[in-house]
Structure 1
Amino acid sequence: MSVLDIKDLRIWLPGAVRPVLDGVGLSVAEGETVALVGESGSGKSLTSRTVLGLLPPGASVEGVVAVEGEDVLAMTPVRLRELRSRTAAMIFQDPRAAINPLRRLGDFLTEGRPGSRERAGELVEAVGLDQRVLRQYPHQLSGGMLQRVMIAAALMGGPRLLLCDEPTTALDVTTQAEIVALLRSLRDRFGTGLLFVTHDLDLAAAIADRVYVMYAGRIAETGSAASLFAHPRHPYTAALLAATPRIARTERRLATIPGQPPDLRTELDGCAFAARCPLATAECRAEPPDLIDQVACHHSLPGGERA
């Protein structure tokens, strides 16, 4: 059963001449972890925030964003508040920016939830913390401990869908591994669907069942984590993997993707990646490719080949 279904999502922002999200479609099933990966500015965070109805000022939107079969874009403000408190929740990137530094963490967890102190205690223990943190202030905890508090806060309403917006970016690699293991165990324990936004391909490979690769507001490729990372078919996916640092590399210089992502103030007539793609042809520059057989490319790579 799907807890999240996004279909043909398009979002326009003031001053942009093309959609910042252009026909995005993805799904997350109950108990499944789906990773959304790509460069900064590709539209990953905006996609996840749209699931909670958190649209930028002045944005206009088309498409369907359904959480447990109900379209978020058609919800009233009252229903949106219910969605955010019970059905879906988000773990933000920087816990110190999301938690009031002047309040105890127990008050943060139970705010707006009368009689929920006992549940707060259960959840901080579920994320590997002692209940004494409920009496502490944010400055008394490390970044990794605060991120665990954020995860507990997201679970307070018993959500069916958990949106993780780069929740490990500010953490060291050891703490990252602990948070990933924690999210995996919580998913298995509560049957929660996870949408995990990240630019870290190794992290996505470690946690995700399926992966969507996003570029310039469009889905470039999707598939199971194992097959997509082992045999990338879109030149962008292959280029991202080639640019990932590896300890065993013998090359003296790290591979890079030439050029820059397209500016939102410029029109796109063809494939968004054409200007940076080594396989681009006149067809690519004239006609945007449809997502067919899980890849949006006129000249998709055979399995195992790298751009």
Structure 2
Amino acid sequence: MGDFVLSKKKQSITADELFSKNADLFKTRFLTGKKGLGRKIESHEIHYPALALTGFLDRFAFKKIQFISEIEWHYLGAQSPARRKECVAKICEFAIPAIVVTRGRKVHNELFDACRKFHVPFYSTPLSSQDLHFKMSDFLEEYFAPRITLHSSLVDVYGIGLLYTGKSGIGKSECVLDLVERGHRLVADDIVTVMKKGNTLIGSGSPLLGHHMEIRGVGIINIEALFGVRAIRMNKKIEVMVELVEWGNSANYERLGLDETTTGILDVPVDKITIPIFPGKNITVISEVIAMNKLLKMNGINSAAEFNQRLLKTLQNKQQSRSGT
């Protein structure tokens, strides 16, 4: 797979860091609980404490961010002040990383007082619970996602993310440059950061390198400046790894395409195709064929398998004809 550096997975983020970084995105307003801003959030999941407010705390997921949505808010509003104080005190005694009241609902005084007493970071937002849930969990999932840095190049060819690997100097950058010239889009060259999000691999470039490329004999070039903004993209799902290797007469290369090879990146399987390199070979056109063939397979069309079935059927028919005579 080439040279790689496995980045250390982030284990936690403080409430202060989360909400400060995303103040505009979350549209949150800090209310109270300043002493608890250093509490750590260790999961991308969001919790709604409706059941805990009723007094059932056996399975209370207090380590997660708590949303006071419509159900929780109306439940608290239906209680007497004394009962409401008791409800919120029971959950705020736990080391909750943060509580957020959504849709700009009026904050119950008892909840405000409990958060201040137990130093629970307390926020309000005009966003709906669903909207904030999506934005916050998406940020946290990406923040906690495992990452790996590969010595490779990533390009979007017909909507398929092709990750080029191979030893230094074999021609990865030249191949990618040719693809860009033909209208495809560069994601990253030389250094690709791969992030695992769910069961999907997302590749992006280095903030320092951006969309620059090093072409031996020419030097550093800026793809965005040369070809325009349509020639680049910031990230792309990785669907096929294309390994470029030097041609070897004794090596056994795939010729039919029946035996599909996969490799693993961050424990996610990825289709792998090995392309032997020799002078005069048009890797750019082959790359486009790889992408189009992947699109066909995604739509249930396997050209190699269909040809093989047709060939076997022809041979079977010939054998039956000979047996009949």
What TM-score do you get using the length of structure 2 for normalisation? 0.24
Greater RCO, 1 or 2 (C-alpha within 8 Å, sep 6+): 1
What TM-score do you get using the length of structure 1 for normalisation? 0.25
* Larger-gyration structure (1/2): 2
